[in-house]
Structure 1
Amino acid sequence: MKKSHLVRIAVLALLLLLILWLIPRPSAAAPADPFEQRCERDMRPTIVVRTHAPDFVVHNSLSSRVLTNKGAYTSAGEAMMGMTSSSTRAEIYVDGPALVDVASGRECIAPRIDVELSYHPLDVYVAREFHPMSCSYRAVFEHEMQHVKIYADNLPRIERRVREELRQRYEARPLLAPLHQGLDMLQGQIDNWLRPLITAELAKVEVEQRALDTRAETERLSHSCLGEVAAQMGSSF
């Protein structure tokens, strides 16, 4: 091989080394925080969400006039044949052990969140104008059972939604906070985020309840039992 070829190869090799040396190299990744690693390894959340199917109590002692005054969504001039009244119970228990790093002034919390949603026994009213053994009573009662079913059917949906939201928020990693502030931070998130979410989901149920009580449904009920309902309610329809 000629000397000129050797020189050319040597020059090319040097140029290649120079180019490789000048190419920017990615900086080494910052070492993982040992405290955060311990938190993610050891501090796992516990999330429990439960609901209970609603019970109900039937009342037949109040007149249509009284029920109309009690009704939250009664239109002017309407007389109520029946009504289903609800009261929600939402209990949220919040706790969580802490892992403390005094050197950095931090702690991490493994959230323990227990949510229990239910309705106090629903009050199902059938106006006292309807005798319990009559066809009209059964017609109104069956309508009110549709309201009970809406409450019962929506609880599992709300349970799934709440569980999913909690898992998305807390299962990926533990809650990091300044020292001695983790539980307060967790409680604040529950009060300012979770409780409004539950309230919004329960409000959707009430929208569905109102949608059941259409004018067409009222007309159907009033003319059921061969007109018995309308006869007992007088000219209310």
Structure 2
Amino acid sequence: MRFLPLLLALFCCNSFADVCDELPKPSVTVKLHEEPVGLGTVTGLRTLSLMGPRSLQEGQRVLGLTRGAAIVRFETRVVSRVDASRQWECASPQISVTYGFSPLTVYVAKEFPKDSCAYREIYQHEQRHVDAYRQHLAGIEKELADTLSRRFTTGGPWRGPIGQARTRIANELEERWGPYVRREINKVELVQAQIDTPEEYRRVAERCDGAIKKITLQALQR
């Protein structure tokens, strides 16, 4: 009789292991959100300067601006099996992560007509920022996938009391991993600052035979 508890324990463990073996492996899929870049041409120089970076040096004006709002979305499907005792479950999370910018908008100050040399110069400068946004997003995809996979797909299915896996996973994604992904996305600002150097501001301002500088001064004197 003294061997009965041990035999029961072995039976329960083996049953639980069999239930876990029925599940697919946990997975994490990372996808880049894509949408067309918006264009804003009705905002004036003064307002764009307020919307722009606080690091502007004296005399610098924001002629154009590219802004993106970081987003992250989690879609989670949890496949679970309950053991014979009805006290425990195995759960396999299937997680899809979508990240990117929405919206991503290029602004050119309304003082520069669309068919003008000034507009083209400013728009071309802003395209460098758009390219930087896209390159940054592509560059962090593997790091995001590796980090999330280490957390959610290593070690097989999750084991615990019935009904808790979904809540635990949802809370952790919202509280820990959502902010993490946004921080990684927003590191693009370091790249953007390298584009908007004082030298680049001066270069753009001097283009079009001085028309950009002239229009800017006229707009600010009104």
TM (norm. structure 2) is 0.81
Aligned to 1:50: 31
2:198 pairs with 1:215: yes
Instruction: Provide the C-alpha distance between the structure 2 equivalents of 1:188 and 1:158, rounded to a whole number of angstroms.
Output: 23
**Structure with bigger RCO (C-alpha 8 Å, 6+ apart):** 2
Tell me the matched-pair count: 206
Instruction: Provide the C-alpha distance between the structure 1 equivalents of 2:104 and 2:188, rounded to a whole number of angstroms.
Output: 14
Amino acid across the alignment from 2:167 = D
2:157 pairs with 1:174: yes
Aligned to 1:161: 143
Identity %: 26
Offset of 1:37 from its aligned partner? Answer: 5.9
Aligned to 1:189: 172
2:83 pairs with 1:101: yes
Aligned to 2:5: none
Aligned to 2:122: 140
Instruction: Provide the C-alpha distance between the structure 1 equivalents of 2:209 and 2:26, rounded to a whole number of angstroms.
Output: 60
CA contact (8 A) 1:54 1:152 kept: no
Q: 2:133 aligns with which of 133, 148, 151?
A: 151
Amino acid across the alignment from 1:210 = A
CA contact (8 A) 1:54 1:151 kept: no
CA contact (8 A) 2:70 2:182 kept: no
RMSD between aligned residues: 2.5
Offset of 1:53 from its aligned partner? Answer: 3.3
Q: How does 1:110-121 map to 2 (within 5 A)?
A: 110-121=92-103
TM (norm. structure 1) is 0.76
Greater strand share, 1 or 2? 2
Aligned to 2:20: 39
Instruction: Provide the C-alpha distance between the structure 2 equivalents of 1:206 and 1:54, rounded to a whole number of angstroms.
Output: 20
